[in-house]
Amino acid sequence: MEPIEWVALLAKRIGYKRLIRWGTMGATAFLLVLLLGVPLILGGVASIGGNEKKKDECPTDTSESAKNAAAGPARTISLKDPETKRNVVIITARAIRAGLGKKGAIVAVATSGVETGGRIHSLDYGDRDSQGLFQQRPSVGWGSVAQIRNPVTSADAFFGVAKHTKNRGLKDIKGWEKMRVTDAAQAVQASATPFAYQEWASTAEKAVNDVWNEANSDPLSKKDSNSDSSSSSSTSGEANAQTVANDCLPGGDVKISGSMKQLLKSWAHPDYKYGRLEQTRGYAAMIAQAKKEGSYTGSPNRVPLGDDCGVFVTHLVVRSGWDKNFNSGGKPTNGAGGTWVIRPWMEKHWQKLPPAKTLKLSDMRPGDVGIMQGHVWIYVGPVDGMKGVWAEASERGSHGPGFAPMFNNSKRILYSDNPTTVYYRKK
């Protein structure tokens, strides 16, 4: 049936007048909906928007802390790691010296957090030739490898106050003080991940606040402290010979070979001190002898005088007779090298121990060697007059006599929190 027929039939049933009245009432209701309903709906939406606006108009915390706390996923910088804490102190002290204050330190620490995965260690590796606390590159003018690996000079370069680079630093960025941490950091770093730095802003601020008093009293924060110390370092063999001849160097009897404990008493400082550079007479004499013999003394391109953590462990193991073949006998002509060579050598010739996180101190035996990305050390057990059961060469040091062996009195498995740490034992 057609619609018009339905209308006619309905009109017959109820009458034309009633049909017209119903139609008028329906049309009126429809018009009321159009006239009143739409404004009511729009008014409701406007009301919701208005409430949000009022919320925005409420007083808010616009402090640096509030901005940093709202940055996104929280990251972690642990000051329980001695190297991490010392580098945060150095960065903060250099920010103070440069006149960039707490905000400058926060920007720098957040940047280093991103670039080192929260370790705040001066890494000897990275993308292409990137290295150090800020993953600066020698190939793009940030300085020599030694200057980039040095926490003091690399921080100065980041802040734009170093003498060894003309690259733009934080101090050269107009209005950086009012920028978000991530924007200020990105203006220096030109990173492929420009927003990552903000995720570290909150934890960087906490770290800087925690070390602020210590950094303020640190000599590195003073105006008369050397801002480009690595530029004047000597790398000559003659300088090392002078070091050996210096009777003021610490240490007892000079020993080039002997038992492991005898060598340690001659070569190592009895206690741990971060970034220690001054070698004992015994160790300096051994290094001089090793150079004459053509034995492994590290890469002069990495450390001015070559000797580093790998050199210390290699010569201790070889010269004590514990394993005369360790690291190819310490002979570069046979393939001796740094940690990148020592690890595969031990993987092939020694026994790999269970994961470091599962080990206990009671599981260790004298002569066990630990290694992680860029660092190697040895468990030696108790030694008379020494404070600790671990021996390692200072992880940091880019000028002066070179890296200095010392004891570490850690009561737990050393560097077990580093995912790259592995322990090996002589078979």
Query: At residue 4, does pLDDT exceed 80?
Result: no
pLDDT tens column, 343-356: 999 999 999 999 99
Residue 176's nearest CA partner among 103, 246, 237 is: 103
Q: Give the angle subtended at the CA of 346 by the CAs of 341 and 351, to the nearest 5°.
A: 165
Indicate the angle between helix axes 339-349 and 309-319, nearest 10 degrees.
40
Burial profile 355-365: b = 16 or more Cβ within 10 angstroms, e = fewer: ebeebeeeebe
pLDDT tens column, 405-423: 999 988 899 999 889 999 9
Class of residue 129 by CB neighbours under 10 A (exposed 0-12, middle 13-18, buried 19+): middle
The share of the chain scoring above pLDDT 70, in percent, equals 70
- Give the whole-angstrom CA distance, residue 409 versus residue 222: 31
Length of the chain: 427
Class of residue 72 by CB neighbours under 10 A (exposed 0-12, middle 13-18, buried 19+): middle
Q: Which residues contact 39 (CB under 8 A, 6 or more apart)?
A: none
pLDDT tens column, 49-101: 444 434 344 444 444 554 444 444 557 899 998 889 999 999 999 999 999 99
What is the average per-residue pLDDT within 271-291? 82
- Give the whole-angstrom CA distance, residue 19 versus residue 25: 10
Structure-model confidence comparison of residues 270 and 35, the more confident one: 270
Work out the mean pLDDT of the chain and round it to a whole number.
78
What pLDDT is recorded for position 243? 33
Residue 402's nearest CA partner among 221, 280, 247 is: 280
What pLDDT is recorded for position 381? 93
What pLDDT is recorded for position 30? 59
| Token pair recorded at residue 383 | 């030694």
pLDDT tens column, 171-191: 999 999 999 999 999 999 988
Instruction: Return the domain boundaries, the chain.
Output: 82-230, 233-425
CB 362 within 8 A of CB 338: no
What pLDDT is recorded for position 347? 96
What pLDDT is recorded for position 36? 54
Residue type for 184, please? A
Structure-model confidence comparison of residues 144 and 3, the more confident one: 144
Q: Which residues contact 368 (CB under 8 A, 6 or more apart)?
A: 353, 378, 379, 423, 424, 425
Q: Which residue has the tokens 């606390």?
A: 133
Q: Give the bridge partners for 369, in sequence order.
A: 378, 424
Query: At residue 391, does pLDDT exceed 70?
Result: yes
What is the average per-residue pLDDT within 241-256? 43
What pLDDT is recorded for position 316? 95
CB 81 within 8 A of CB 119: yes
